[in-house]
Homo-oligomer: A and B are copies of this chain.
């Protein structure tokens, strides 16, 4: 990226200063055009006429047909004001049109200041597209691209990216819309000049990055032809207030404190209690019972001992250093106790209590944040169930301890969802590194956690439930770094809520829904889960599956019926069924009955013995052209469920011993014994589900989405 040359910057600066000086929010068309020219964004030939004759002469110079457009800082919606005439074909028509537009403008707004009438070369042919930029409350500057007219207006077929973007990302936007095929030329039309279009997008992204005071840009329409992209109409809006950038700690500083939070040498429990059922008692019992090996200091003004540990009246009385203070006291006492933590030099405070912003008590929360900032304390919560970090045997929560260690870190903004995470983890025996409640996110949020998990060798996959992001840009920065190494699954709640934002540009209005989140999360390399259960199953399955090396997926099934449904699921999940080469097809055929079907799915037919599953799956694992296997099992007397499960586990292990590590998922159709078989397979690294053909394929699809965006697949 980087900023543009100085001349261009000076030019834009000059325009914006003038607009600001005049207290305007909207630029005139000529001003917009001047900015486009400075940034190398092509616009049609045009000129400003202040008399009929000037207009007629200008039109003759540009060549007919021309368009005539009113220029007035007081008329934003020119068409509504009758201020636009298109297809004007002669000098006489220009004169007549000039008069008519002026009359219309006067009728629309008698007091409008009118700078003149723009005479513009009319662009014809090609494809109309819209390119724009807006300032998203979560993500800041975003650029948008869509097809003009009905597609963007009615079908909302538009795609967004966080600005700035490079040429490659700009190109990816052209493929990011549903109707992308139109740009490649349909029904005999020329394909558009993708490079030229991408260049316009990239320059708009640079413009709003260089000048954050530019709030919205609408190039609508841009005419895209086979060798050009020209912005026929330019609207630019600026912020009239001050533009403030959020404060962002350096990643190193975040990492330092988060490491103390997750691996503390000593934890104080403020409000520790001997009374069962109290949060201050549950936290103490969970810390001790969970096996946390560091120092535990109960703080309680009325007890000398809590749960067998020496208690202190105040945190200041504790002899040693304290990394983390867990708060289990009513909200109103939090600011005072936090001051004491500050005096003691505590690094992080875990605020379990509710009664802050979530109950409308924003003031109290602001006060707590102020105290924390002043002392340099990072805050987790308030209004949370606490957090788990299994490598430290740390259960700083009032829920039950969790001890199945593994690579998945889960976080939730909501306590209810946190409880669902815990129940699901327990029932599936999911290997977990951390479960963290974020609650009101008064301070520590998703990007802090991502920064820690990125460097945490105990974590191999992250799954996050979130309702909003305090700082979308910081999240994207952190996500972009970690997703290069580890998959991050996000369940974004509130995705169907309609944005109720007032917006005065097309791009702004279109950015009001969930599409911005969707596109930008994808841009950040995040795998978005469509629902809670999918988030949980992705978290469970993704760490088990090795990263695929390429796109060739093969289905091997004992039930033709499952094969069809598994194929459906592959298309749905964006997976590519391998086109099996003849020699490989022949190799598979050797193992299956003559009426079985090679090809893909490979249907080994239902009555086959274990050896047929074994031979075909082994071939699927060993042939280098195949990158992932989907198995469809059909319960028969000849190959009972556990026989199938054990043989698949063995064949997969044997392959891994030989250095062949491909993702294998399975769908088991059969009587209830298949449930046990699925558990066995999960325990042995095969993602397997009973009574569903969709779920195993979805999990594999999620792994592929991550691997693709991390650039790990062979092209």
Chain A interfacial positions (CB closer than 8 Å to B): 79, 147, 150-151, 153-155, 157, 178-179, 181-182, 186-188, 277, 354, 358-360, 399-400, 412-417, 419-420, 422-424, 426-427, 465, 467, 491, 493-497, 530-533, 536, 557-562, 564-565, 567-569, 571-572, 593, 595, 606-607, 632, 634-635, 637, 669-675, 690-695
Residue in contact with A669 in the complex, picked from B187, B416, B493, B497, CB distance below 8 Å: B416
Contact B414–A561 (Cβ < 8 Å): yes
> Within the assembled complex, what's the spacing in Å between the Cα atoms of A495 and B566?
11
Q: How many copies of this chain does the complex contain?
A: 2
Residue in contact with A493 in the complex, picked from B359, B561, B670, CB distance below 8 Å: B561
Known: A153-B187, A414-B559, A558-B416. A571 touches B496 (CB 8 A): yes
Known: A494-B568, A497-B567. A691 touches B595 (CB 8 A): no
Known: A358-B595, A495-B568, A595-B359. A416 touches B153 (CB 8 A): no
- Pick the 4 closest A-B CB pairs, nearest first: A414-B561, A416-B559, A359-B595, A496-B571
Residue in contact with A414 in the complex, picked from B151, B354, B562, CB distance below 8 Å: B562
CB contacts (< 8 Å) of A358 on chain B: these are: 560, 595
| Identity of the chain B residue whose Cβ is nearest the Cβ of A424 in the assembled complex | B691
Known: A414-B560, A415-B606, A606-B415. A671 touches B494 (CB 8 A): no
Contact A419–B693 (Cβ < 8 Å): no
Shortest A459–chain B CB gap in Å is 22
Contact B496–A561 (Cβ < 8 Å): no
Known: A151-B150, A179-B155. A561 touches B423 (CB 8 A): no
> Within the assembled complex, what's the spacing in Å between the Cα atoms of A36 and B693?
48
Contact A532–B419 (Cβ < 8 Å): no
Residue in contact with A417 in the complex, picked from B354, B414, B530, B669, CB distance below 8 Å: B669
Contact A186–B150 (Cβ < 8 Å): yes
CB contacts (< 8 Å) of A188 on chain B: these are: 79
| Identity of the chain B residue whose Cβ is nearest the Cβ of A79 in the assembled complex | B188
**Cβ contacts A to B, 20 pairs, < 8 Å:** A147-B150, A151-B151, A155-B179, A359-B593, A399-B671, A414-B564, A415-B561, A416-B558, A416-B562, A417-B561, A417-B565, A417-B669, A420-B562, A423-B675, A465-B561, A494-B568, A496-B567, A531-B692, A533-B691, A533-B693
| Identity of the chain B residue whose Cβ is nearest the Cβ of A361 in the assembled complex | B595
Contact B493–A417 (Cβ < 8 Å): no
| Identity of the chain B residue whose Cβ is nearest the Cβ of A532 in the assembled complex | B693
Residue in contact with A423 in the complex, picked from B154, B179, B465, B691, CB distance below 8 Å: B691
CB contacts (< 8 Å) of A179 on chain B: these are: 150, 154-155
> Within the assembled complex, what's the spacing in Å between the Cα atoms of A365 and B51?
87
CB contacts (< 8 Å) of A360 on chain B: these are: 595
Residue in contact with A564 in the complex, picked from B79, B467, B562, B634, CB distance below 8 Å: B467
CB contacts (< 8 Å) of A399 on chain B: these are: 671
Contact B155–A178 (Cβ < 8 Å): yes
Shortest A90–chain B CB gap in Å is 15
> Within the assembled complex, what's the spacing in Å between the Cα atoms of A562 and B634?
36
Residue in contact with A426 in the complex, picked from B419, B571, B671, CB distance below 8 Å: B671
> Within the assembled complex, what's the spacing in Å between the Cα atoms of A465 and B416?
36
Known: A155-B155, A559-B414. A565 touches B181 (CB 8 A): no
Contact B153–A186 (Cβ < 8 Å): yes
Contact B533–A695 (Cβ < 8 Å): yes
> Within the assembled complex, what's the spacing in Å between the Cα atoms of A496 and B632?
18
Given contacts A79-B188, A532-B691, 17 further A-B contacts (CB under 8 A): A155-B179, A359-B593, A415-B634, A416-B557, A416-B558, A416-B606, A419-B634, A423-B635, A423-B669, A426-B671, A494-B564, A494-B567, A496-B572, A497-B567, A531-B694, A532-B565, A533-B692
Contact B560–A423 (Cβ < 8 Å): no
CB contacts (< 8 Å) of A691 on chain B: these are: 420, 423-424, 427, 532-533, 536
Contact A690–B560 (Cβ < 8 Å): no
Known: A423-B671, A637-B277, A691-B532. A412 touches B567 (CB 8 A): no
Contact A693–B155 (Cβ < 8 Å): no
CB contacts (< 8 Å) of A632 on chain B: these are: 416
